[in-house]
């Protein structure tokens, strides 16, 4: 537990009181100390579990799970995080709820929250919708608490919206911190966040946006690369530029994948849909224009097919620093010759990094658990020390 004690000492030095009884929407809403606190508590919770010590801070309560898009890693990471802390997960299936009969968001938010402590929401499909929906739910449960309808105010965890994917970006960052031996070793490291070819369309923008919005806060040199026409949200680019200037890093853009990969310490090749196309799709769905949606899909698939050379190949990896950059992906990756005929990454590259990739994914349950912990625990240092002192066995 020597490592645990070091984490406690670090946490004591961080100003993170504002995380308590608050929501987690965007990483750039949080201070540097608050982000560091979440990383630190994630490692502390993991250390407890690795030492077979229970970290259950709840005797009862619900973690509501609302996924408006398909998910494997985030869904199970959220369930694991809730369970780690003692909460039971209840999925809200909108197709089986009264939402299908016109129940309002205000009413639903309160009806599911009588014994809920956390609401985790993934709503990433439509521009201008997901983040707004989460903010509305937060406002409605806050009002329900103030009106004495709810005994507690459930706090919100953004499990991915149209703007940011904070649990993914934070898990990715913690993976990088561990791979490079600490935050203090990240200044000047070059990370290439690049578009890559996919035979499917409509992948959310929130992963690349989350990466450039977070990694620029640690003195890293972040390059955003994509073919012309695959732009992301301008306001998120502005956030990345501001962070680079504030924290002594760099943020650059290029339409050349090779340029991005050259001498990179970390590469993150990942497909996404153009911002303008996502806006168009949002409007088409609002109108119920299925013919327009089908036409847009075919147009975007044809556009993707023009850029099959945007792939993480062995040749591309040789351009990176010493030919050994850390390859990252949020998964599932489109693997050439495995999951598709041609995709984001060569099978040989993916297989070589399979173990690090799985480790990368393994940080997400602890990041989400840490977010919940910091939102619900007023004195995190005291609570962690109590859990360690009690030493209640997780597995008897």
For 225-249, the DSSP string reads E--TT----HHHHHHHHHHHHHHT-
Phi then psi for residue 193, to 5 deg, are -95, 100
* pLDDT band, very low/low/confident/very high, at 249 (cuts 50, 70, 90): very high
pLDDT digits (tens, 9 = 90+) for 336-362: 999 999 999 999 999 999 999 999 999
Of 125, 122, 133, which is closest to residue 91 (Cα–Cα)? Answer: 122
Q: How far apart are the first and last CA of the chain?
A: 19
DSSP tag of 26:
-
Residues 6 or more apart in contact with residue 241 via CB below 8 angstroms? 216, 251
pLDDT score, position 98: 67
For 100, the 3-state DSSP assignment is helix
CB 214 within 8 A of CB 173: yes
Averaged over 386-396, what is the pLDDT?
Answer: 95
* pLDDT band, very low/low/confident/very high, at 326 (cuts 50, 70, 90): very high
For residue 322, is pLDDT > 70?
Answer: yes
DSSP tag of 87:
P
pLDDT digits (tens, 9 = 90+) for 235-247: 999 999 999 999 9
For residue 100, is pLDDT > 70?
Answer: no
Residues 6 or more apart in contact with residue 131 via CB below 8 angstroms? 25, 26, 158, 161, 162, 163, 164
Q: How far apart are CA 121 and CA 17, in angstroms?
A: 23
* Cα–chain center distance at 132: 17
Domains of the chain: 2-164+364-390 (3.40.50.1370), 168-361 (3.40.50.1370)
Burial of 362 (0-12, 13-18, 19+ CB in 10 A): middle
For residue 96, is pLDDT > 80?
Answer: no
Averaged over 297-302, what is the pLDDT?
Answer: 96
Averaged over 41-48, what is the pLDDT?
Answer: 98
Averaged over 357-384, what is the pLDDT?
Answer: 98
Q: What is the b/e burial string over 38-63, where b = at least 16 CB atoms within 10 angstroms of the residue's CB?
A: bbbbbbbbbbbbeeebbbebbeebbb
Q: How far apart are CA 98 and CA 289, in angstroms?
A: 25
* pLDDT band, very low/low/confident/very high, at 101 (cuts 50, 70, 90): low
Looking at every residue in the chain, the average pLDDT score rounds to 96
Q: How far apart are CA 293 and CA 71, in angstroms?
A: 22
């Amino acid at each position: 537990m020597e490592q645990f004690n070091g984490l406690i000492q670090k946490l004591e030095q961080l100003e993170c009181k504002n995380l308590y009884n608050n929501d987690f929407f965007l990483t750039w809403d949080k201070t540097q100390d608050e982000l560091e606190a979440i990383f630190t508590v994630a490692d502390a919770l993991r250390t407890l579990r690795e030492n077979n010590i229970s970290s259950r801070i709840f005797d009862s309560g619900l973690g509501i799970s609302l996924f408006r898009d398909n998910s494997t890693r985030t869904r199970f990471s959220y369930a694991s995080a809730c369970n780690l802390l003692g909460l039971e997960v209840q999925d809200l299936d909108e197709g089986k709820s009264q939402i299908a009969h016109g129940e309002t968001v205000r009413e639903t938010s309160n009806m599911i929250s009588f014994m809920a402590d956390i609401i985790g929401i993934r709503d990433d499909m439509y521009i201008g919708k997901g983040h707004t929906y989460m903010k509305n739910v937060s406002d409605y449960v806050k009002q329900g608490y103030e009106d004495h309808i709810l005994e507690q105010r459930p706090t919100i965890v953004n499990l991915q919206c149209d703007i940011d994917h904070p649990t993914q970006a934070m898990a990715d960052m913690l993976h990088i911190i561990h791979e490079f031996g600490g935050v203090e070793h990240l200044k000047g490291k070059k990370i290439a966040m690049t578009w890559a070819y996919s035979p499917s369309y409509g992948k959310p923008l929130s992963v690349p946006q989350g990466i450039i919005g977070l990694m620029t806060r640690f003195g890293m040199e972040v390059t955003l690369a994509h073919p012309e026409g695959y732009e992301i949200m301008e306001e998120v680019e502005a956030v990345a530029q501001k962070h680079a200037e504030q924290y002594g890093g760099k943020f650059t853009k290029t339409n050349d994948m090779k340029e991005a990969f050259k001498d990179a310490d970390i590469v993150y090749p990942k497909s996404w849909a153009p911002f303008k196309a996502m806006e168009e799709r949002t409007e088409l769905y609002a109108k119920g224009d299925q013919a327009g949606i089908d036409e847009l899909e075919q147009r975007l698939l044809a556009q993707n097919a023009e850029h099959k050379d945007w792939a993480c190949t062995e040749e591309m990896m040789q351009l990176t620093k010493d030919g050994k950059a850390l390859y990252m992906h949020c998964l599932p990756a489109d693997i050439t010759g495995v999951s598709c005929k041609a995709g984001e990454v060569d099978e040989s590259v993916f297989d070589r990094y399979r173990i690090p990739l799985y480790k990368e994914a393994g940080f997400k349950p602890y990041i989400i658990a840490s977010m919940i912990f910091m939102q619900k625990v007023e004195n995190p240092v005291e609570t962690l020390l109590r859990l360690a002192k009690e030493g209640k066995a997780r597995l008897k």
